[in-house]
Amino acid sequence: MEKSERVAIAKHVLSLIENETPYMGDESWEADIGRFIDQERFDLEKQKLFLERPQLIALSADVPNPGDYYATDIAGKPMVAGLIIKPELSKQVDANSFFAAK
């Protein structure tokens, strides 16, 4: 895209903001409302997206010390994450192991 085109777009956007005018596209799109209110679809999406795939449930800062744990709820299921340090391996890089359980 040429610089002049980018400048024209920026000026148009600033004009819309200044005049508090929404931008309406040339076409409209309608969605089937069922995808937003269908309980069976919602339950399937929760199952497929949250319960059958790995999820980030905690950061290392959330469980900084041995024995610390972090509990949360994902898609209606309780989850726990914690930090275990094996004393006999404390001088090795791989001494820390992170666990998560449903």
Q: What is the pLDDT of residues 11-63, one digit of tens each?
A: 999 999 999 888 887 888 888 888 889 999 999 999 999 889 988 888 888 88
- pLDDT of 95 > 80? The answer is no
Label residues 33-52 b or e (16+ Cβ within 10 Å = b).
eeeeeeeeeeeeeeeeeeee
Given a contact cutoff of 8 angstroms between Cβ atoms, the answer to whether 72 and 50 are in contact is no
Domain residue ranges in the chain: 56-102
pTM over 0.75: no
Distances (CA, A) of 21 to 15, 18, 61: 8, 8, 44
Given a contact cutoff of 8 angstroms between Cβ atoms, the answer to whether 66 and 49 are in contact is no
d(CA 21, CA 10): 15
Residues 68-80 have pLDDT tens digits of 888 988 888 888 8
Q: Does residue 93 come out as left (phi exceeding 0), alpha (psi in the -120 to 50 range) or beta? A: alpha
Distances (CA, A) of 44 to 50, 70, 89: 10, 26, 43
